Amino acid sequence: MATTLFNASCSFPSIKVIDCKSYVGLRSNVSQVRVASLPVATSQRRSLVVRASSGHAKKLGRSDAECEAAVAAGDVPEAPPVPPKPVAPAGTPVIQPLNLNRRPRRNRASPTVRAAFQETDISPANFVYPLFIHEGEEDTPIGAMPGCYRLGWRHGLLQEVAKARAVGVNSIVLFPKVPEALKNPTGDEAYNDNGLVPRTIRLLKDKYPDLIIYTDVALDPYSSDGHDGIVREDGVIMNDETVHQLCKQAVSQARAGADVVSPSDMMDGRVGAIRAALDAEGFQNVSIMSYTAKYASSFYGPFREALDSNPRFGDKKTYQMNPANYREALIEAREDEAEGADILLVKPGLPYLDIIRLLRDKSPLPIAAYQVSGEYSMIKAGGVLKMIDEEKVMMESLMCLRRAGADIILTYFALQAATYLCNQKR
């Protein structure tokens, strides 16, 4: 007898919890776990085979033959009786059962069955943790985002990253609150190699070399107009000139050690231009996560408060997408793919599940979903007011983003949700 565990790996959690001692015929002795080729013609794969132990079975009394003979002779040992049918409450109508071929509830009948047939899973490895940073030394609470802070880049940030790593979240994305005095109409602080973001990246990489750092590429935190691009006197957001600035910004972030630069500005052609700029500077290995389908959404309100980055006038509708549009996301996705994006992002998350599904089905690239500030704050507020169960709604919303097709999720809940997942017993 041999039990074959395909794709078995020692780090796989469901294998790890196997206690060999509790399985008859299996010994925890590693020498009995060995890799062997299966004698199956169609399979050339090498598989992990756990062999039954060869020693003698423990003697309990009668031999197998004696037991079988006794049963054959009608001497059947006792077992518990067939359980009685559970009683329905008085008044339950007595009816003929429906004649159903299929009763889908059978596959949901118990926690074990439900776990066996669960189609989607979620783990801390799927999370990217957005973190707000500032020049200050204290952590300043963000009024519209309970539980979120502008973190001191040398103090609070390092502690928050350590906490996140402890529960398996090793990817972060940085959002800077830039001093007013450093903002100008062309957002030049965005590519200051010694600006807040590059400085912070260098510090983080020095302390945690394996941390994956995503950056935001857009001018809004650096622009005195609060727009993602350069604003002409007539209010037009200048596309190609902005892309020029974004390339400098991305290169500056890459130089500091960023792993993934993430243009969130929605200018046309920025992915290709950034790719070329990165490559020209030797940053072939820096990835681009493109905010492919970023909608002009009111769900960003709390974020803009956090960074004090509200547009000084107008809105972002000439560059961010119309929330009424679906097919247009495909145009953006095709461009980003052709220009060399490594990851396509949809933003916001929960109200745009159809867009996540669209890109998942139409593109082979990894898909990211951004559960944005307004989504986070609504769940937090509902929880504080005891209108919803915050933890359950948090986990459900994240699972739904995964089910819709998101590989990774940018979420302010990253630490809280990963902590929850780590505390779940497997």
Binding site for ligand PBG (CB under 6 A): 216, 218, 220, 228, 264-265, 300, 303-304, 316, 372-373
Between 220 and 390, name the residue whose CB sits nearer to ligand PBG.
220
Residue 84 to residues 76, 81, 96: CA-CA distances in angstroms?
A: 22, 9, 20
Minimum Å gap between C-beta 113 and ligand PBG is 38
DSSP class of residue 182? G
Please name every residue paired with 150 in a beta bridge, in sequence order, or none if there are none.
Answer: 132, 140
Cβ atoms of 213 and 257 within 8 Å: the answer is: yes
Cβ atoms of 194 and 188 within 8 Å: the answer is: no
Minimum Å gap between C-beta 374 and ligand PBG is 6
Minimum Å gap between C-beta 372 and ligand PBG is 4
Half-sphere exposure of 370 (CA within 13 A, CB side): 27
Minimum Å gap between C-beta 228 and ligand PBG is 5
Tell me the C-alpha distance between 239 and 268, whole Å: 7
Annotated catalytic residue, options 183, 294, 316, 380: 294
Tell me the C-alpha distance between 171 and 58, whole Å: 52
Between 250 and 372, name the residue whose CB sits nearer to ligand PBG.
372
Order of strands, sheet of 2-5, starting from the edge strand that comes earlier in the sequence: 2-5, 46-51, 33-37
- The reply to whether 205 belongs to the active site is no
Query: Angle at CA 383, nearest 5°, toward 382 and 385?
Result: 65
Minimum Å gap between C-beta 21 and ligand PBG is 49
Between 50 and 145, name the residue whose CB sits nearer to ligand PBG.
145
Instruction: Say which residue the tokens 């783990």 belong to.
Output: 123
Minimum Å gap between C-beta 22 and ligand PBG is 47
If DSSP codes are grouped into helix, strand and coil, which group holds residue 391? helix
- The reply to whether 347 belongs to the active site is yes
If DSSP codes are grouped into helix, strand and coil, which group holds residue 248? helix
Strands 237-238 and 230-231: antiparallel
If DSSP codes are grouped into helix, strand and coil, which group holds residue 145? coil
Peptide bond into 348 cis (omega under 30): yes
Counting beta carbons within 10 angstroms of the beta carbon of residue 170, is it exposed (0 to 12), middle (13 to 18) or buried (19 or more)? middle
Between 356 and 372, name the residue whose CB sits nearer to ligand PBG.
372
Using CB positions, name the residue nearest to ligand PBG.
Answer: 303
Between 300 and 413, name the residue whose CB sits nearer to ligand PBG.
300
Minimum Å gap between C-beta 281 and ligand PBG is 23
Residue 251 to residues 86, 105, 278, 319: CA-CA distances in angstroms?
A: 69, 55, 6, 23
Between 139 and 265, name the residue whose CB sits nearer to ligand PBG.
265
Token duo for residue 123: 């783990």
Residue 349 to residues 45, 87, 111, 328, 377: CA-CA distances in angstroms?
A: 40, 46, 29, 17, 13
Token duo for residue 375: 């989504």
- Give the number of residues written for the chain: 426
Between 363 and 377, name the residue whose CB sits nearer to ligand PBG.
377
Between 26 and 219, name the residue whose CB sits nearer to ligand PBG.
219
Long-range contacts of 151-156 (CB under 8 A, 24+ apart): 153/196, 153/199, 153/200, 153/203, 154/203
Please name every residue paired with 77 in a beta bridge, in sequence order, or none if there are none.
Answer: none
Minimum Å gap between C-beta 265 and ligand PBG is 6
Annotated catalytic residue, options 177, 183, 316, 347: 347
- The residues annotated with a catalytic role in the active site are 294, 347
